[in-house]
Structure 1
């Protein structure tokens, strides 16, 4: 099941074709780009502990390990973006056939945010004398919450570059029937004007240093929503742009202590103010995706210090996540009639099943004997295979709300002290009545 989805998402022939169409200075001789993506995918899925281990296990690696690392460290960012967008387009028809509810009917929702990679080990010669942490870069990610897919990505090698600038190439490819949701970091005039130029809509939270307002309209009467009340007004900024400003007043402050939130939007009046407020609440779906990407997959490989190599590792983890999201939807649809309403499959447990059975399947069913499934039949074939999975083995375990604990001040000596767990447990038993 996982292998069928991987073959559709990142088929070797298609990966090599993408390389030829989008390469700039790179070229292929003995080592194909599809081989690199295959090795990195094994690491991202957790099937191999490192790139070195994956390469050592590959029987027909045509180059040395040094040449492999050199090739990876020169991977061009344009190739990474082409891989993500092309793979998402290849999976989209199958996901739509499986069924996906629309968050805002008639609109394609896009949530954009940046993901900064964790610090890497200082294996490069230029980093060995540096005391500070080595940051390999970041990516601005475009996420479709309806499909649960990363549909676009802009890699950036400079960890100190501005996300507001890196998002502009992504907005250049936006469509008229899309609505882009972003945090207050992107509340700048160039970002919102870029949306206007391509006739796409946006919902962006207002920041403290927002673009200067030329004119403000009267606030309309507040309306109740699930989390508080909302009201809106018309605003005008430089360039003659007239947009909507929405204020959401919360019943109780959020985790940051904010009791009211302000959003800017150019959505038409046919989309109500309540819908806009609810849309921004869904922005947190991308934060959950980032959490799953980091916790379940190897998206941040500490041993890859080169920025381009680290970004390649993150991109292959994104490709693996898209495949796991497709498998999750297949399992949920296959068991929808037999499970209670609201039942969800867990990407974490699906990944565990793949890791435990992938090596054995590779031995029992090599790639040359895999059945060729046409794209139009892939959804039905995945459903047939998903029915063989026991729901209880992959069921999601939702946790309850967090219990707030009071933070108390203690001496530093108490924080750094240690105790014997066995003695503490025995002492607690003696105190019981």
Structure 2
């Protein structure tokens, strides 16, 4: 079904002027990212790229400024570069054509390597905070070394940020990405890009199998429904949780536990059609309100993952949807600068770079307030940086985390307002829930 442009939140009208600069925020970005940039200079030289003004350090500083200050166009970016320092990049005059062409042709792999280097540092920072995970995540981490979420998303229509796009047809889709995100940290593990916007999730299955090590729990949606994929995951000593397809054929084997609110049973999935494997799996059905949700997992032992833990973990798959929403709507990935595959990937890695820095800041805010990350609005943390910049210029603030968490700044809505829905009871951790415990079961 087609949508009008007004009905797509990602395509709301963009701003016409950049955000104001702030020394503290720029310094924190520089302290985090700049060392990772200079770590890649040897690789930069290995690509036989000659020394020039628009080098790796300058290009990354320029592109990050384009993102965090929400610069509306490359023309405006060029004006800024000629008049002010952009992060660690000093004032320099270059032609708009040279800057546009560099954004088209600069090797995207350089930005990817900077991102991977930065993630090592940010993962260490996350571990040092000793963030307390949810009960379901703590239970899963006893048996699995990694909890990963996988999903694919279509990059939206191309827009004319660069002069090179003036002849591109409006509404042309930019391609499709598949991302693996760590359920705990929310940081990306891996991202793949295909220029075909309608590429099915199955196109990424082989790359996933090459990536996933043993003792990984993968949380996937039904787009990755593939019997051979499931079989290979199990052979590799990893496991998965997904939703059962409506028309899936299976044979009942044994009931593990059952009540009016849940069913937990072992099943044999598949008929062997076209040589597809027949798999012994576990079907967990949980009633939430008046609706039954059906989950399929390769974890056969309820002592490892009790039924309500399975449901709660799958509900956390929504985190990757929130990630895509942040990348697209908040950080502007819906507005592609160029139609070239390399240019799109350049923007993709740059957006991921700023995303992980923003998530790290939001996690610092949550740690300072001693509340779960789920209670923090990443969007309002980002928008709160503007108010911090104003307060800094007025001499009223020097630290963004202290400013965002100050009691007098509660109106910035960095902490999400509690929902009006009824309070949920504690999560039932029993591997075999009994009927008398029905009031003690829920999933997030």
2:44 aligned with 1:6: no
Distance 2:257 2:299 in 1: 19
Please give the TM-score of this superposition, normalised by the length of structure 2. Answer: 0.70
Q: Quick check: 1:45 aligned with 2:68?
A: yes
Question: Which residue does the alignment assign to 1:55?
Answer: 78
Task: For residue 387 of structure 1, give the secondary structure of its aligned residue in structure 2.
Answer: helix
Which residue pairs with 1:261 in the alignment?
294
Decide which moves more: 325-334 or 245-254. Answer: 245-254
SS at 1:305's partner residue?
coil
Residues 1:66 and 1:347: Cα distance change in structure 2 (over 3 Å): same
* Aligned pairs (5 A) from 1:227-242: 228-235=261-268, 242=279
Q: Tell me the residue number matched to 1:27.
A: 49
Which secondary structure state, in structure 2, belongs to the residue aligned with residue 14 of structure 1? helix
- Secondary structure, aligned partner of 1:147: coil
Task: Provide the secondary structure at the position in 2 that maps to 1:218.
Answer: strand
- Relative to 1, partners in 2 of residues 1:249 and 1:18: Cα closer, same or farther, differing over 3 Å? same
1:246 aligns with 2:262: no
Is the Cα contact below 8 Å between 2:256 and 2:264 reproduced in 1? yes
Paired position in structure 2 for 1:406: none
- For 1:119, the equivalent position in structure 2 comes to 157
Conserved in 2, the CA contact under 8 Å of 1:346 and 1:396?
yes
Question: Does 2:136 correspond to 1:105?
Answer: no
CA offsets 1:351-407 (integer angstroms, 9 cap, x no match): 123245559979x9xxxxxxxxxxxxxxxxx9x8733542424532436469xxxxx
Residue 281 of structure 1 aligns with which residue?
315
SS at match of 2:147: strand
Please give the residue correspondences for 1:342-353 in structure 2 after superposition, counting only pairs within 5 Å: 344-353=375-384
Going from structure 1 to structure 2, the CA distance change for 1:248 and 1:300 (only over 3 Å counts) comes to: same
Aligned mates of 1:329, 1:275 — CA distance in 2: 24
Q: What is the CA–CA distance in structure 2 between the aligned matches of 1:231 and 1:359, rounded to whole Å?
A: 55
Give the distance between the partners of 1:140 and 1:24, measured in 2 at CA.
28
Offset at 1:322? Answer: 1.4
1:290 is aligned to 2:290? no
Matched residues in 2 for 1:4 and 1:96: separation? 23
> Higher mean Cα deviation, 71-80 or 135-144?
71-80
Which structure 1 residue ranges, 5 or more long, are not aligned? 365-381, 403-433
Residue 63 of structure 1 deviates from its aligned partner by 4.9
* 1:78, distance to aligned residue in structure 2 (A): 4.5
Provide Cα deviations, 1:85-104, integer angstroms capped at 9, x if missing partner. 33322200101111223313
SS of 2:285 mapped into structure 1: strand
Aligned length: 369
**Shift in Å, 1:252:** 4.3
Cα 1:245–1:332 shift into 2, 3 Å: same
- 2:347 matches 1:313: yes
Q: Is the 2:337–2:347 contact (alpha carbons within 8 Å) kept by the matching residues of 1?
A: no
Greater shift after overlay, 137-146 or 28-37?
A: 28-37
**Is the Cα–Cα contact under 8 Å of residues 295 and 310 in structure 2 kept in the other structure?**
no
1:172/1:194 contact within 8 Å kept: no
Contact 2:227 2:276 in 1 (8 A): no
Q: Which moved more, 1:298-307 or 1:14-23?
A: 14-23
Q: Following the alignment from structure 1 to structure 2, what is the Cα–Cα distance between the partners of residues 22 and 171? A: 30
Contact 1:136-1:305 at 8 Å conserved across structures: yes
Question: Residues 25 and 235 from structure 1, CA distance in 2 versus in 1: closer, same or farther, beyond 3 angstroms?
Answer: farther
| SS of residue matched to 1:73 | helix
Deviations 1:250-294 (A, max 9, x none): 34466xxxx442423246552223322221111112112222333
Counting only pairs closer than 5 Å after superposition, residues 11-410 of structure 1 correspond to structure 2 as 11=34, 13-18=35-40, 20-21=42-43, 27-30=49-52, 31-59=54-82, 60-61=91-92, 63-76=94-107, 78-79=109-110, 81-102=112-133, 103=137, 104-106=140-142, 107=144, 108-121=146-159, 128=167, 130=169, 133-196=171-234, 198-208=236-246, 216-223=251-258, 228-235=261-268, 242-252=279-289, 259-266=292-299, 270-336=304-370, 344-356=375-387, 386-389=401-404, 390-391=406-407, 392=410, 393=412, 395-398=414-417, 400=419
Q: 1:240 to 1:117 in 2, by over 3 A?
A: closer
- For the 8 Å contact 2:177–2:193, the answer to whether it is kept is yes
**What's the CA shift string for 1:115-168, capped at 9, x where partnerless?**
2111013678798485x7211112111122311322321122222333322253
CA contact (8 A) 1:343 1:395 kept: no
Closer/same/farther in 2, CA of residues 188 and 21 from structure 1, 3 Å limit: farther
Q: Identify the range of structure 1 (228-237 vs 176-185) with the bigger mean alpha-carbon deviation.
A: 228-237
